[in-house]
Amino acid sequence: MEVTVSVDTGKNVLGAVLLQEGQPVAYGSVSLMQTQQHYAQIEKELMTVIYGLEHFNYYTYGRIVIIQTDHKTILGLSKKPFDTISPRLQCQEATVRINLLTQASQTKWEEIAKMTTGDPEMQDVLIHINNGWPEKKKTKIAAQPYWHCKEELYSTKEGIICRGQ
């Protein structure tokens, strides 16, 4: 079965979503170290692809994987001769062959927003994100698993919950 790893890079964070048959299966994100935050954007975007593949390795190894990204430069980079690529990119610990890159569709974002709206647990988290988090013991039970990372959570205008920047 073909899987999709949708990746995006923020200023200080790498994020990935594993999709099967267009449905989210798992999420992952990691903060960048201080030094990594100063890397060129293309380097951070490639780190995000590698992070997504390694984070979901049990789902991706040995399978056809489609990488979704909004960074078109990666596609051009995959067509360059290896010796013309930055030495830092050449030294990445993973070997990745990119056959297809797709951009996350507006329909997918709308679907995620709709599913978030229909999920009572996520609505509790959204209430806390938008109105401020109380003390942990006063936090709604459904939102308590998110309390430890409350400072990193925010919502988009569509109501999608995001972690990181």
132: left (phi over 0), alpha (psi -120 to 50) or beta: left
- Whether the pLDDT of residue 46 is over 80: the answer is yes
Specify the range with the lowest mean pLDDT, choosing from 2-16, 36-50, 70-84: 70-84
* Rounded Cα–Cα distance for residues 82 and 78 (Å): 9
SS3 breakdown of the chain: % helix, strand, coil, rounded to 5? 45, 20, 35
The tens digit of pLDDT for each residue in 80-111 reads 565 566 655 554 444 444 444 455 667 777 88
Specify the range with the lowest mean pLDDT, choosing from 66-75, 81-90, 94-103, 149-158: 94-103
**Interior/surface letters 42-59, b for 16+ CB within 10 angstroms, e for the rest:** bbbbbbbbbbbbebbeeb
Three-state DSSP state, 134? coil
Paired with 26 in beta bridges are: 18
